[in-house]
Amino acid sequence: MTRPDDYLMAWEDSADRVPVLWLHGFPFNATLWDEQIDGLTDVARSIAPDLRGFGLSAPTDDRGDLARYADDCARLLDHVGLTGPVVVAGLSMGGYLAYELARRHPQRVAGLVLAATRATPESAEGKAGRDAAAAEVRAHGVEAVADAMLPKLLAPDSYENRPDLVDFVAEMMLAATPEGVLGALAAMRDRPDSRPDLPGLDVPCLVIHGEDDQLIPVSEAEDTVAALPDADLVVLPGAGHLPNLEQPEAFNAAVREFLAEVFYGDEDEDEEQDDNGVD
Ligand code: MLT
């Protein structure tokens, strides 16, 4: 309460929520995070960009480069007035980008949520796969990549029994432009090896992985956690490569607990709030 002039004003200020930059995977867009933005609105101030060529972002060229995405994101944070560190949450390609952001703009990173991602660079076979996918996009458009990926994105059970989810994911993919997809394929193909950076990433990290991820095995997440100085691993049953969509409640619960830890420096949000008299 304050007493500006002649009345007692009550107000709410959401500035005490933890800022979270949500980085989508390939070939999605910011709507990937709808369940998190809604479900965590009481604890997180969410900033969820559409990367170049995805979702509603303006048309772009097809030059793909994680460094360029990372600089775009840093500029976006400036633009919304977040000049200090934020929690950076990335899924899959968004995780590759989170590592790049931490390399290029370490002062922006208060903590990391690394979902369905890996720190390893592209294998020779993977690089050839990216080039083949790019040729498909040039010849047949974005649909070609979307059709090939869709069955592998979700856990087999989600794919067979959750048509709404399948439609949502397909729609997200088809909203991508060919330039955006080509750029992202190049960015993923040429991504650096982030493993040497892991021991120096001295911020709290939460690694979340779907137990049934068909694109990135759980062992990659385990390796990442083992190399990070301050990381917890949550493996979600009943989820594939999109655990935030397939198991949103469990995903959000893990992030909620993590945010409490980063923000209040305690694993028990309620206890810490009581201790500090913060509500
Ligand atoms: C993603 O979900 O961002 C992609 O599957 C990542 C990849 O293909 O490496």
pLDDT of residue 2: 52
The model's pLDDT over 61-99, given as tens digits with 9 standing for 90+, comes to 888 899 999 999 999 999 999 999 999 999 999 999 999
- What is the distance in A from the centroid of ligand 1 to the CA of 105? 23
Pocket test for ligand 1, best of 22, 26, 245 (most atoms within 8 A of CB): 26
Report the nearest atom of ligand 1 relative to the CA of 242: 2
pLDDT of residue 276: 36
Residues of the chain with pLDDT under 70: 1-5, 12-13, 264-279
The whole-angstrom separation of Cα 121 and Cα 174 is 26
**CB of 141 within 8 A of CB of 133?**
no
Q: Is the CB of 188 under 6 A from ligand 1?
A: yes
- What is the distance in A from the centroid of ligand 1 to the CA of 132? 15
pLDDT of residue 128: 98
The reported pTM is 0.91
**90 phi and psi angles, rounded to 5 deg:** -130, 140
Task: List, in sequence order, the alpha helices (H) in 105-141.
Answer: 124-140
- What is the distance in A from the centroid of ligand 1 to the CA of 91? 8
